[in-house]
Structure 1
Amino acid sequence: MAPIKPSAIFFFFFFFFQLFLSLTLARKPHQIDFRSPNLYPEGLVWDSSAQHFIVGSLHHRTLVSVSDAGVAENLIHDPDLPENVSILGLAIDSINNRLLAAVHAAAPLPEFNALAAYDLRSRRRISLTSLPSSNSNRRPVANGIAVDFKGNAFVTNSAENFIWKVDKHGSASIFSKSASYSSHPITANEVYSSSGLNGAVYVSKGYLLVVQSNTGKMYKVDADDGTARLVLLNEDLKGADGIAMRRDGVVLVVSYRKLWFLKSQDSWGEGVVYDGIDLDEEKFATAVAVGGEGRVYVLNGYVKEGLNGNLGRERFGIEEMRLSRSWILEFRICPPNSFSTDPPCITAMVINSYGNYRTWTMHSDHSYYL
């Protein structure tokens, strides 16, 4: 057996040293603490044009902007909304420069469910669309919002398990009312047991991904005709509330107990939960958003306190989420062959602490790339 050359030893050592640095020397997660007395925010979005977050409120007719430094400012106050309504789900319609908000009045207030649309530049309300009832015995709850490239908004009804559609001009209809939404067992005796369809996100291929809190299921909903199919997952997402999608196709789902990272290879006929982060239940996370540079943030709105009538909290949080470890998924040595002029190399595929897939390749001439 031929002896190993010193240059080869250096090559392998240097490769693993660089890989080790890439996995371990990362900045601390970004923690944003902000003050807004009695806000108890439930919804969260990132406004990339203004470079700030926007949150709603369980008790106020106000939308609040939050900077990276934790500076909270009243962005929009809408006195035309009924007093003490909740502003729940939020979405940014970037093409039409609109902020969309799901507005709901909980008992004992008179029934009220609407989609409010605001101009992000002028901050003036464009429209307030009442969402039609299905004439059932249950009081509807307008909750999650997704918006497509045409300006159509899709709003989940968490109480009655259907989805409204509101077009760009403010015309509303019941859009998706699939029997599949009511065909799975409900988790009993949980804070989310009465909450059905919840967070929703639009996928550019023409469908929605919608999570259901009390069953832990995810549905793929056609954005044209409203037909729904169950997404087959390797585990249920119990208590699922908010949902977001990164540019690399990774879907993020949050409950007050956990943040899940999911990926699919077949446009969400099936999906896999490939990692997760346990959360502080007291903070009661309800929403997840993708901020600048693809960073993942959850909203710590202490919503359970607000639902229980607590009005004493002044500070809330938006917390960056990163996996506590990195995984090397694949490692291989690529020797030269007669068909290639490239030098020998080593390749490693890694999931880093952000949940991103990265590939390291280093050649024996000591050149490497990501």
Structure 2
Amino acid sequence: MFNLLRLLVAMGHSVDVLATSGRDTAQQRRLTAIGVGCIIPEDSGGPARWFLRWGDRYAAVIVSRYHLANQWFPLIRHVRPDAFKVLDTVDLHHVRELREAELRGSRLMRLAARATRRRELNAVRAADVTWVVSEVERRMLATTAPDARVEVISNVHDLPSRAPRPGSGAHLVFVGGAQHPPNADGVSWLLTDILPRILHRLPHCRLHLVGQGLADCAGAGDSASHPNVVFHGRIEDLGELFASCHVGLAPLRFGAGVKGKINHYMAFGLPTVATPSAVEGMHLEDGRDVIVASDAATFADAVVRLLDDSVLWSDLSLAGQENVRRHFSMESAAPGLRSTFEHCGRALAH
């Protein structure tokens, strides 16, 4: 989203971010530095009351995630009926929930996913434009909400200027917070079924887990319980860690949308091993851009192969960066943004 805001400002829009909870002064400084206004309405009765007073100044409003859209779209219509409403889905939540229900074989989770689907499609129908992150999800909505206007606005990443290179050692990395169910499940699977197979062949291999709450996955506890695992918590700038690692991991057994972790690995030239679920909608070809593995044994074999084969490592490193440049760069996102706001005024709120 930060990069999308940068693009909107570069296109000449005046953009404000309205925080619905919390205060992050570091993020405020980052946003201010790129010309984005930050609204923290602590002294005016909260964000809804602030918007009631000042919201009519905005020609368009972008709301991230369907549950916030269902809360905010009625308020936006009340304050400024002609405001252009954009739903940024981030991913299609009901698709992710249904896939988890299928993995668990849970009837209750299937019922919950269907309820999410109803609410999410209501938000899609109420929006003037809905953003999805892949053509796969656009096709899904073409079936379930055929009258909706949908634009593909995917993840946006900067490409580091330095050339990637394979280093010495065997360092693996996974990025993602445990509060997101696919990440928690993926790390549990990684620690219990995949990593032991890798360590059996490469006992000095080290796994870096980056994200809040990952130490609790699968009873991981702390580094003393897993001497080959380093728990980092959240890291704002991953560049230094990625420069010391050799393979990015995406062992996700369910999910939706496109995976920012894979984009992030590839932008830094890290070859990636991923599941079929993790690469959905990402324009990635197995063996050319990424190695795709469906089960624990195949996943472990792919990691070991990448660590042993410097030619394959370099080929995937370069192909991954080119994939990000073609499909997930600032330049690739610009056409969809221009199409979204071509008939709007200059003032935007998010």
- Shorter-chain TM-score: what band? under 0.3
TM-score, length-normalised on structure 1? 0.25
Structure with greater proportional strand content: 1
Structure with greater proportional helix content: 2
